[in-house]
Amino acid sequence: MREFQPDYNYIIDAAYNREAKRLPLYEHGFDSGIVEQVIGKEVTPLLAGDFADKVEAQRRIVACGLELGYDVIPFERLMTDLVQGGEGLLGRGTALIKNMDNLERYPWEEKADEYIDRFDEDFRALGEALPPGMKAVGGIGNGLFETIQDFVPFTELAYLQVDEPDVYERLWIKVGDFMVGLWDWLLNNHADKFAVCRFGDDLGFRSSTLIRPEEIRRHIIPQFKKVVDMVHSHGKPFLLHSCGNIYDVMDDLIDVVGIDAKHSNEDAIDTFDVWVERYGKRIG
């Protein structure tokens, strides 16, 4: 059997809704424990090691991808790791921002620097490990809605909207600027590692969006557009991962934000053929 030769251009074609010469595989994430089972080598300890360890970890993840027939591997580093480690997003953390004083005193610039100090080495290790023909899909992990919930969990965010509307309004701007700034850094330093840029931001659940569509249009869509415009300026397609029934804002995501592709289509909402019928001629 001929050895698999990756070609990341196939996933680029798919993201741009062009027919690829070969059907490319896409995975939202590679769990290191599963990778270890596939290749029979340790990965998880190496991810927390020095630069050489991180390069070797990525080489082993690449080897897993090649063995399974992937042209690209998923790679992202999460903004929530710098906030509450996802505890707020999962509803287990506390609200970090309760008033305007909390908001203005929060060390926004220091957190951005902390992200770069912590993860720049990881992105460089990825670049060292990628073989010819293979790139990554991903970038800065978490979108605006997920990140804001790590600052202020979902229920508390609803209270904040009513009790402190000025703080609520300003919080979207602050977290959005934090996100946009990190994407600017990433694209100016590590764009060459990625075939497709992506973040995940679950905006909905089974029956509707998690917040009112007009809130998404007001606070989220403009910040998404800033990121996607930057991605496009670097010649990359953008894929949005978003779970849930987000039909009410899909036109905004396609026509205003300019997403090229979407991931996550749930049969509990509609079978895949319905999604294709609605959007198959507009996005990948």
Q: Each residue of 207-243: pLDDT tens digit?
A: 999 999 999 999 999 999 999 999 999 999 999 999 9
CA 120-224-158 angle, to 5 degrees, is 105
Span 48-73, average pLDDT:
98
CATH architecture of the domain with residue range 74-279: Alpha-Beta Barrel (3.20)
CB atoms within 10 A of CB 277: 11
238 three-state secondary structure: strand
Determine what percent of the chain falls in helix, strand and coil, rounding each to the nearest 5.
Answer: 55, 10, 35
**Mean pLDDT of the region 273-281:** 93
CA-based nearest residue to 283, from 91, 252, 85, 23: 252
Mean pLDDT of 108-124: 98
Residue type, 273: D
Predicted TM-score (pTM) of the model is 0.96
Smallest CA-to-CA distance from 132 within 30, 9, 26 is with: 9
- Reading the block at residue 76, the tokens are 């992202």
Give the Cα separation of 156 and 149 in Å (integer): 9
Strand partners, 77: 140
Token pair for 161: 């909207």
237 or 266, higher pLDDT:
237
Beta strands in the chain (DSSP E): 72-78, 135-141, 194-200, 238-241, 261-263
Burial of 215 (0-12, 13-18, 19+ CB in 10 A): middle
- Strands 261-263, 135-141: pairing is unpaired
Contact present, 132 and 65 (Cβ < 8 Å): no
Question: Is residue 43's pLDDT more than 80?
Answer: yes
Give 1's pLDDT tier (boundaries 50, 70, 90).
Answer: low
The b/e string for 47-76 (b: 16+ C-beta within 10 A; e otherwise) is beeeeeebbbbbbbbbbbbbeeebbbbbbb
Mean pLDDT of the chain: 97
**pLDDT over threshold 70, residue 34:** yes
Asked whether 148 and 210 are in contact (CB, 8 A), the reply is: no
Q: Domain extents for the chain?
A: 74-279
